[in-house]
A = this chain, B = another copy of it.
Amino acid sequence: MFAKRIERLKPSLVREILAAAQAPGVISFAGGLPAAETLYQPNLAQMQIPASIWQYGVSEGEATLRELVALRAQKLGLQCSADQVLILNGSQQGIDLVAKLWAEDGMSILCESPTYLAALQVFELFGAQFEASRDAMMAPQDVAHSAARFSYLIPTFQNPTGACYSTEQRVALAQAFDAKQMPVFEDDPYRDLAFDGAAPAPLVSHLKSVQWVYQGSFSKTLAPGLRLGYLIAHPDLIVSLTRLKQAADLHSNRLSQAIVAQVLQSGELDAHIETILPVYRAKRDHMHQLLTHYLADKATWEKPRGGLFFWLNLNQAQDTMALMRAGLEQGLAVMSGAPFCTTDHSGATLRLNFSHSNLTQIEAGVQRLAGLIK
């Protein structure tokens, strides 16, 4: 007999689409994968790998890496110490740990709708229900009227909408969270992929009193295969989160931690980001241009200022799940917006990834897409 939570562990449509998207010849706008040519590939022969890392490590993560992560967060305006940093096996793990900390049957989470699909899946697994913000971007009145235990949001180049909250929006929301005493979980994996100027300071940096967890990732800026992310938490939460990490897998991979610490220390991370930004910016501009050419009368969208996705609102009602299947038959993988939404009123929306395909594939893919949309 399975635990009840397993009934909520739905077959993941995303997994199926991503699997299908990897078939040869398929153009994929479906996933959130970095382009192969932008991946950071460490020169392992020249790395300094201390012999000590082959032994068991501490659950919190390597001290040097925690210091470097804290330093980087401080530069963004987030006051924190290395003691508040927990190194993760990718930032997906942070969602699992925060769900264990706060989520259970009968409680609800205030989130943007649409929002990151795999976060919704984890929170549901732990019994949570959702309150959706009225608009795609969360507003102070959403917080004021909410009965949720905590709020999950992605204020910077949101997945899937690409939206980025202004400083004013962040300050106003932070005040609302403090006033309501509603803890905040800010997921921030796309911040460094900023194509038109740096993103505003993290929302949690404006909080005065309420508890918070902030998390980031090295998957988008270095390489997903390193499986390293981190969270930074309010001092009252870090002990419980560290114990949860210990229970989950003792500690994160020490080889990857040693590599990333060196990449951060040497300044290579920022240098690498400088090399990938023009590549992504060109792809974004190319997709925007092609969408304008082929889809201006069929959909509306905002040109994203960062991140990995376009979010399309189709002008005419259409079953986007059916469109997704029809696309696959024509060798094009896209994501329906429906699974990202916590309500049924998602409209006809699509999420298009522009980072993984090359310029030629982007052109061919948008052309095929135009043929699929009513």
Chain A residues proximal to chain B, CB less than 8 Å: 1-6, 9, 11-12, 15, 31, 33-34, 36, 39-41, 44-45, 47, 49, 51-57, 59, 88-90, 92-93, 96, 100-104, 107, 118, 121-122, 125-126, 149, 219, 223-227, 240, 243-244, 246-256
Contacts and interface: CB of A to CB of B under 8 A. Distances in A.
A247 B126 CA distance: 11
Nearest to A242: B15
Contacts of A59: 15
Given A4-B104, A44-B45, A55-B36, A255 B256 contact: yes
Given A11-B243, A12-B243, 16 more contacts: A1-B149, A2-B102, A4-B104, A6-B101, A15-B59, A36-B51, A39-B54, A45-B45, A56-B224, A89-B89, A92-B248, A118-B246, A122-B247, A125-B244, A225-B254, A227-B253
A2 B240 contact: yes
A89 B251 CA distance: 9
Given A248-B93, A249-B96, A255 B226 contact: yes
B240 A254 contact: no
A6 B244 CA distance: 9
B255 A92 contact: no
A3 B247 contact: no
22 contacts: A3-B101, A5-B104, A6-B100, A9-B243, A9-B244, A33-B56, A34-B55, A36-B51, A39-B55, A56-B224, A56-B225, A89-B253, A90-B249, A92-B248, A92-B249, A118-B247, A118-B250, A121-B247, A225-B255, A227-B249, A227-B250, A253-B255
A108 to B, nearest CB: 12
Nearest to A224: B56
A138 to B, nearest CB: 20
A90 B40 contact: no
B104 A3 contact: yes
Contacts of A243: 9, 11-12, 15
A115 to B, nearest CB: 15
B149 A125 contact: no
Interface centre among A122, A247, A248 (most CB of B within 10 A): A247
A254 to B, nearest CB: 4
Contacts of A15: 59, 243, 246
B47 A248 contact: no
